[in-house]
Amino acid sequence: MAGLVPPGTSSDASKPAHSKADEKTDYMNLPCPIPYEELHREALMSLKPETFEGLRFDFTKGLNQKFSLSHSVFMGPTEIPSQSAETIKIPTAHYEFGANFIDPNLMLIGRVLTDGRLNARLKWDLSDNFTVKANAQLSNEPHMSHGMFNFDYKGKDFRSQFQMGNGALFGASYIQSITQHLSLGGEVFWAGQHRKSGIGYAARYETDKMVTTGQVANTGIVALSYVQKVSDKVSLATDLMYNYMSRDVTASVGYDYILRQCRLRGKIDSNGCTTSYLEERLNMGLNFILSAEIDHRKKDYKFGFGLTVG
């Protein structure tokens, strides 16, 4: 009878049962999801680089381990709103002075521009789970000054946030891990000054090789994104933005390529706009930046180069 039983039958039968047991979700040990406001961060890194036009120079000097000063010079055109299809630009230049204080539990960042604007940011970790954030901008122009406070709570497998700002603006968001890879969340807001409210929902699925995100809100916005990690240095991304009230839709594809001495990012969208952004490390603390954006439909061409020291 022993010869009628194929060799290895008992061991093969036990393997599927063992693998299925390993695949079961441990709901008491789920990972903590990323903040709700950063749902599309991988896609934004590839598809939304900080492009600019003209010349930019940034210099940062560290006074000690926690305190540093920064100087920034920008020279380039500024777009002026126009009723015509043609883009109107005027040459501008400004200088920005900044002070930074970075501590493991406290971060203070301030910026003063020559046009009179003052920007300030605060991030204070009151505990391992509770964080307070504040952003403020003061300007000489009417209705251009604003402030915002964020209160973030990080749980074991969830995150929540409450926002309040000037203009009677209130908002709240919550995101919860459902499995080891899937997280679901939602948000609500109320803008008392404009008498508008909104509610939105989002889902994010993440593995070691890909990240896909979907977001929808009653304001009419539907946002979808997908990022494929080809390797440790190469990522491909795509997104789709649809407004079902205005019927506007935009799709884009992009890439993020990290080399030994540089990082290259770029995208092209359905409106015919092509963007490329290159960051090259010339030496320790010295980076060279090239930025290009071509909009064939509007016949708008933007090229910029910069240098970052420190």
Contact 109, 97 (CB under 8 A): no
Token couple for 235: 């990522």
DSSP string, 120-154: EEEEEESSSSEEEEEEEEE-SSTT--EEEEEEEEE
* Chain position carrying tokens 């441990």: 26
| Complete DSSP assignment for 59-105 | EEEESSSSEEEEEEEEEEEEEE--SSSS-EEEEEEEEEEEEEEE-SS
Q: Tell me how far apart the alpha carbons of residues 136 and 248 are, in angstroms, rounded to a whole number.
A: 32
- Of 215, 183, 212, which is closest to residue 200 (Cα–Cα)? 215
Cβ 124 vs Cβ 132: under 8 Å: yes
Low-confidence ranges of the chain (pLDDT < 50): 1-22
pLDDT number for residue 218: 92
The Cα 41–Cα 29 span in angstroms is 24
**CA 11 centroid distance within chain:** 49
> What is the C-alpha to C-alpha distance for residues 167 and 253, in angstroms, rounded to an integer?
36
Residue 204's DSSP bridge partners are 183, 213
- Taking CA 277 as the corner, what is the angle to CA 263 and CA 40, rounded to the nearest 5 degrees? 85
Is there a contact between 257 and 237 (Cβ–Cβ < 8 Å)? no
Contact of 60 with 43, CB cutoff 8 Å: no
Residue with tokens 């590839």: 46
In this prediction, residue 273 carries a pLDDT of: 93
Helix or strand (DSSP H, E) at 12: helix 9-23
Residue linked to tokens 């301030």: 110
Distance CA 71, CA 69 (A): 7
Tokens of 58: 């940034």
189 touches 53 (CB < 8 A) = no
Average pLDDT, the chain: 89
